[in-house]
């Protein structure tokens, strides 16, 4: 394997730990993320004044000469596939995709091909400069296979590092559209008794819990109040359906981004997503409240009615504030129209 050499000196007042000093002083053009630096350090690829160092907690002095041996990016073991993509934005560092429902983001044992990563490898070709030592797109966040909508993917290590930091700090703007059973309204007395659910001004429902993998069903996430990972979801009603209203279109936004977060949280509040096969989205809707078309459309909807509609972040290289929107896809739009249909008297 061929190697590239990155050399630099530690600047004044270095942090107490070597790993932090490296992250601070490594040249930006080297495009080495903290994660990548940690792997290179552990692998014996970093020397200080000619002596190999592997301890991230080691001390380092101002003026120390650092040399990093970086493997030149290999071709990814994942194969490129010519799959059409709805590209919203692209430059040398990143690409924003409007993912269709039914597409998996990353290959896994059950879905080795046909994924977004396979499609991006074909689309980007030689424009990928290498993420984590391999010529592949950098996935910094995911949306479920049957959820549609916006994703940003890094094409370079520097973009991957900058985007990952924003997601870790929860500064990325993410809004979702969901069609749910019931109407999550502050005037519903039932919701006052649901732990972790409260309402802010303007009828905004805030759900605060912890989430962790379900103890017996490894494909599901479970709500906890001790252990797991902190998760916060907010939502507001956009439109109610039926007379009386028995379903609604809601807008959700994330303070944290955990696996299945919106689906689990809304189910916890008693407002599971129409069509959700995992979290109880097969409830019956009242035929007295909706038209036959609305009842039939909800019953037949084949996926969770969830769409990642808005994605906003700071470009990790140009520092420009970017914000993208993707319209509700045709299948969800048809569901909404059917739910709006007036019941014939």
Is residue 297 within 8 Å of 335, Cβ to Cβ?
A: yes
Catalytic residue among 49, 92, 93, 144: 144
Burial class (CB in 10 A: 0-12, 13-18, 19+), 321: exposed
Distance CA 85, CA 120 (A): 8
Distances in Å between the alpha carbon of 29 and those of 73, 159, 233? Answer: 15, 11, 37
CB neighbour list of residue 139: distance below 8 Å, 6 or more residues apart:
105, 106, 117, 153, 154
H or E, element range at 295? helix 292-300
DSSP for residue 94? E
Crossing angle of helices 18-25 and 34-42, in 10° steps, is 130
Distance CA 41, CA 44 (A): 5
Q: Exposure string (b/e) for 292-311, b if CB count within 10 Å is 16 or more?
A: eebbebbeebebbbbbbbbb
C-alpha angle 179/183/187, rounded to 5°? 155
Q: Is 144 a catalytic residue?
A: yes
Can you point out the beta strands (E) in 40-105? 46-48, 51-52, 65-71, 74-75, 87-90, 94-99
Q: Which two tokens stand for residue 294?
A: 């609305």
Which residues participate in catalysis according to the annotation? 144
């Amino acid at each position: 394997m061929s190697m590239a050499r990155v050399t630099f000196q530690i600047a004044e007042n270095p942090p107490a730990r070597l790993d932090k000093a490296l992250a601070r002083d490594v040249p930006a053009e080297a495009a080495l993320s903290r994660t990548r630096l940690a792997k290179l350090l552990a692998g014996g690829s970093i020397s200080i004044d000619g002596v190999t160092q592997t301890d991230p907690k080691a001390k380092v002095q101002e003026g120390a000469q650092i040399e990093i041996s970086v493997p030149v990016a290999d071709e990814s073991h994942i194969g490129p596939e010519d799959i059409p993509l709805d590209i919203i934005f692209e430059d040398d560092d990143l690409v924003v995709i409007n993912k269709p429902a039914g597409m998996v983001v990353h290959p896994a044992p059950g879905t080795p091909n046909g994924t977004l990563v396979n499609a991006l490898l074909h689309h980007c070709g030689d424009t990928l400069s290498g993420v984590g030592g391999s010529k592949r797109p950098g996935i910094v966040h995911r949306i479920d296979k049957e959820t549609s909508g916006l994703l940003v993917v890094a094409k370079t290590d520097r973009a991957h590092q900058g985007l990952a930091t924003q997601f870790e700090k929860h500064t990325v703007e993410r809004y979702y559209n969901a069609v749910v059973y019931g109407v999550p309204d502050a005037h519903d007395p039932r919701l006052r008794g649901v732990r972790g659910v409260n309402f802010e001004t303007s009828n905004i429902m805030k759900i605060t819990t912890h989430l962790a993998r379900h103890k017996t069903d490894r494909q599901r996430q479970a709500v906890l109040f001790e252990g797991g990972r902190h998760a916060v979801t907010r939502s507001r009603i956009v439109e109610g359906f039926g007379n009386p209203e028995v379903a609604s279109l809601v807008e959700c936004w994330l303070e944290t981004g955990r696996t299945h977060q919106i689906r689990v949280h809304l189910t916890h509040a008693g407002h599971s997503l129409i069509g959700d096969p995992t979290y109880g989205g097969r409830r019956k809707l009242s035929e007295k409240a909706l038209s036959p078309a609305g009842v039939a459309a909800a019953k037949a909807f084949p996926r969770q009615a969830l769409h990642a509609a808005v994605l906003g972040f700071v470009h990790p290289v140009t520092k420009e504030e970017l914000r993208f929107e993707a319209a509700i896809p045709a299948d969800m739009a048809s569901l909404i129209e059917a739910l709006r249909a007036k019941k014939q008297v």
